[in-house]
Every structure is written in C-alpha cells, then in structure tokens.
A = this chain, B = another copy of it.
C-alpha cells in the first residue's frame, strides 16, 4: 500500500495527474481515508496505471482510455484495434502537415539567407468559392500589350453588360490561361462578378461569356499593392512558391482588382490593391 507520493514515483506520474485520474474514474485508489481524504494505492493499481500511461503514450485521449479500461480490466480487442487504427490515420495526417510546415519554414529561412530580407509578399493558401462571372476572352500578342487589352476588353464588357441589363458587381477578375509565365501570346480573360441569379436566365452567347468560375480547393494567394507594371514580380514569386512547395498549377491565374476597376475614365489606377490567386495542387507521388 502506497501513499500517493510513493505511488507517483513508482509510476512516474505526477501527483496532480493521479488525482486527476481518480476524478475521471480512470484510476481509483484502492482505499481512501474517510477522515483525511488521503489516497492509498495498491500494487495492483500499478499495472493499471502502466496501461494508462502506455496508451496515453500512443496519443489516445484519457476519455478513450477510460472507454477501453472501463469495467472489466481486460482490453476489448476490437475497440482497441478501432482506436489504434483511427489514431494511426490521425498520426499520418499530422505527420504530413508537420512535414509540410517544416518545408515551408525551411523555404522561408533559405529565402532570407539568399536575399538578406524577408519577401515583401505573404503567400497564403486558401480555398476559392465559386462565383458567377461575365467575361470576354482574347489573346494579347505581347506582355506589354496586356494593359491595352485589359482596358478595352473591360470597356466592351461593361458596354455589353449594360445593353443586356446586367449589373456588374465587383471585383474585376482577370484570368491568365497560359499555365506558365510567358511574355508573348497571353491568353487572357477579363471577367466581372455578377449576381448568381443572372446565370439562370439565358443571354446571347456571342456578346459575352456568362458562367460560374469553379471553386478551387487550394490556391496560393498574395496581396499586391502598386502599379500594374509591377505585377510581374509578385506573379513570379507566387509561381516560384508553388513550385517550391511541391505543388503544380491547377487552373488559370486569377488577378482580382480589389480596389475597384482597373481603368476609370481611360486612366489606369495608380496604386491598385490586387489579389493574385494561383490554383495549385500537390504533385502526386511518382508524378514527374
């Protein structure tokens, strides 16, 4: 028979926890002094305590352990197997997440070592909701022509929407359909968000596209603030980040004009706030 302190040393479990196990009903002392409240443990409890510690070391919760040890001291095999299997799945997932985090941390550190300062862009993984959009699509011959195309595409889009009696909402979303970064023949699509109801009514197809931009499970995103000419750098940062994290593009790059229309009265906004979203997915194992 041991007092709680001795039992604590025997089992290498803190006194606090022994009291806690008592309270949870996980491990009741063999005897409790009615007057002083002192807990007295027997050697048989030690085997049970060891079970608890062992299962806990595998990462089972005390509640799960209580379920297992409950009434009879014999472990119900099937439940144990079930719990261990669940635990294995959870552990595999946690391992994967941590490994990804570690890779990100190391990427950041490398980046700091190389450039001497942290990247000005913060890249975040997010999911994208589906949105109803109206759009026009065309190929711009060179990268320097993109601004011009953008302006005029949006302009005619707005005109046609006006004729059709559809109210453009915000933001504008320019999509770049070329998967990689390129400087000529950019397949671009200028889109605006419209109310979802517009999809259900039919519209002349030759005037503009009207459809739902698909949801994206994971996209890399960053916020850029500055002139349109400076967009090249954040685009490259985003694509580089994707590659570095073992991912691969999974859809057109989206350029959201969060601070309103890119062009107003024929003038481009001087310092627009732009969100770049690059849909991406993990490379499958064994994929090139």
Contact = CB atoms under 8 A, between A and B. Distances in A.
B77 A116 contact: yes
A50 B225 CA distance: 13
Interface stretch (A30-38, A91-99, A193-201): A91-99
A46 B92 contact: no
Contact of A101 (B57, B105, B108, B109): B57
Interface residues of A, number: 55
Given A95-B99, A105-B87, A54 B118 contact: no
Copies in the complex: 2
Contact of A77 (B58, B98, B112): B112
Contact of A88 (B10, B106, B112): B106
Nearest to A125: B57
A222 interface: yes
Interface string A69-107: 000000101001100110110011011001101101110
A150 to B, nearest CB: 20
A122 interface: yes
A141 B161 CA distance: 99
Contacts of A126: 12
| Interface of A: prevailing SS | helix
A222 B98 CA distance: 32
A24 interface: no
A92 B88 contact: no
A223 interface: yes
A117 interface: yes
Given A95-B95, A98-B94, A105 B88 contact: yes
A132 interface: no
Given A88-B105, A94-B98, 12 more contacts: A12-B126, A46-B273, A47-B122, A50-B222, A50-B223, A57-B101, A58-B105, A58-B108, A77-B116, A84-B112, A91-B98, A91-B102
12 contacts: A12-B126, A44-B273, A47-B273, A54-B122, A55-B122, A58-B101, A59-B105, A77-B118, A80-B118, A91-B102, A95-B99, A98-B98
